[in-house]
């Protein structure tokens, strides 16, 4: 089964965590609320507004959030179904900003100042190749911000990152990801861990918090790296 079939409609509506939402619009609204915690976490490392790509954009929440922050934002995902949903958005700014594609063949021309890749790398059989592909599309001094599950958090957690989703095939520890970034010729700014505070973000986005937890402790890994300029 190819990636386009693996991440088809059944993945989003039956097999993944997104099945709990009534429809695309409900999922998009909730995910945007949740990602307010992400933007609070990375605020010191978010570059000035420029051209941005969300790689593995899913419902498109990050594209919306970056656009609201002044970025010229685009989104790509391997799933034709989720991209079709995103293209039917009621926001006229973004109807042409979503496209089907993978990281090896990003379907938008030109380079980017920022690429975000959130909860995507764990789904890929060759994540280092994906990192190299994203680096190739970043401008000099461009920045990558990525998140992925931590294989062995040192604090007890509620789920096994590999077992929670059968498409999680590349789950690693933070040190592994640091070496992967270096092998992809990035200059690493930081690799750390975090935990997203559950439940409260559903009440209001002001309560969304992703709390930093040092180099190894948390269930999530945050990677921030720049294009190495020789």
User: What CATH number is given to the structural domain containing 27?
Assistant: 3.40.50.150
| Domain around 128 | 3-227
pLDDT tens-digit readout, 5-20: 667 676 666 666 666 6
Domain count for the chain: 1
pLDDT tens-digit readout, 71-87: 999 999 999 989 998 99
Distance (Å) of CA 217 to CA 35, 120, 151, 213: 21, 21, 11, 6
Q: How many CB atoms lie within 10 A of CB 141?
A: 12
Residue holding tokens 């609320």?
33
pTM for the model: 0.90
Residue holding tokens 């997104």?
18
Q: What is the DSSP string of 18-30?
A: GGGSSSHHHHHHH
């Amino acid at each position: 089964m190819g990636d386009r079939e693996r991440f088809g409609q059944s993945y989003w509506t039956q097999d993944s965590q997104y099945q709990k939402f009534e429809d695309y619009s409900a999922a998009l609204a909730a995910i945007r609320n949740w990602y307010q915690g992400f933007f609070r976490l990375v605020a010191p490392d978010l570059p000035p507004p420029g051209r941005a790509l969300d790689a593995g954009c899913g419902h498109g929440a990050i594209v919306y959030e970056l656009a609201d922050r002044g970025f010229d934002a685009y989104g790509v995902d391997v799933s034709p179904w989720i991209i079709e949903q995103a293209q039917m958005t009621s926001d006229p700014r973004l109807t042409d900003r979503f496209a089907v594609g993978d990281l090896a063949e990003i379907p938008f021309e030109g380079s980017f100042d920022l690429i975000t890749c959130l909860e995507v790398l764990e789904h890929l059989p060759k994540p280092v190749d994906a990192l190299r592909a994203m680096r190739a599309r970043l401008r000099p001094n461009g920045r990558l911000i990525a998140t992925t599950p931590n294989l062995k958090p040192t604090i007890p957690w509620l789920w096994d990152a590999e077992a929670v989703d059968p498409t999680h095939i590349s789950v690693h520890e933070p040190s592994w990801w640091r070496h992967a970034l270096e092998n992809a010729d990035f200059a690493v700014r930081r690799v750390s861990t975090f935990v997203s505070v559950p439940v409260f973000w559903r009440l209001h986005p002001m309560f969304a918090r992703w709390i930093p937890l040092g180099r190894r402790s948390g269930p999530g890994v945050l990677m921030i790296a720049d294009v190495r300029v020789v």
